[in-house]
Amino acid sequence: GENVEQHPSTLSVQEGDSAVIKCTYSDSASNYFPWYKQELGKGPQLIIDIRSNVGEKKDQRIAVTLNKTAKHFSLHITETQPEDSAVYFCAASYGNFNKFYFGSGTKLNVKP
């Protein structure tokens, strides 16, 4: 099966700085890569996703890049704000149904 590794496990940045979270996957058949934000006591919230036929996708302060050759994808958050503080998960999926393989999560702390 697929194996997704995520780094770093914790990330602390100053408000206004950028944050980058990286994930690698093992199965070249994976073709869908979502990112989720999970706040304390809540379920994961989809923030952005990318498919394997696209190299980059941007939504306001958030962007995701995908390198299929190297089998890695990254989340970029610019102009971070305290409300960006949460745990972020990457995931990978392939095949005929929605089985997501999640990374182990990155706890992002944005200091005001």
Residues that bind another protein (CB under 8 A): 4, 6, 31-32, 34, 36, 41-46, 49, 89, 91, 93-105
Specify the residue, 4 or 19, whose C-beta has the smaller distance to another protein. Answer: 4
For residue 66, the minimal CB distance to another protein (Å) is 14
With contact defined as beta carbons under 8 Å apart, do 83 and 112 qualify? no
Phi, psi of 99 (to 5 degrees): -90, 115
Tokens of 3: 């194996």
Closest to another protein by CB, 78 or 102: 102
Q: Which amino acid is at 64?
A: V
Compute the least distance from the CB of residue 69 to another protein, in Å: 20
Backbone angles phi and psi of 44, in degrees to 5? -65, 140
For the bound state, the minimum distance from the C-beta of residue 3 to another protein, rounded and expressed in Å, comes to 12
Q: Looking at this protein, which amino acid is placed at residue 52?
A: S
Quote the least distance from Cβ 93 to another protein, whole Å.
4
Q: For residue 79, which of 16, 21, 20 has the smallest C-alpha distance? A: 16
Q: For tokens 């102009």, what's the residue?
A: 79
- Give whichever of 27 and 78 is closer to another protein, judged by the CB atom: 27
Choose between 80 and 93: whose C-beta lies nearer to another protein: 93
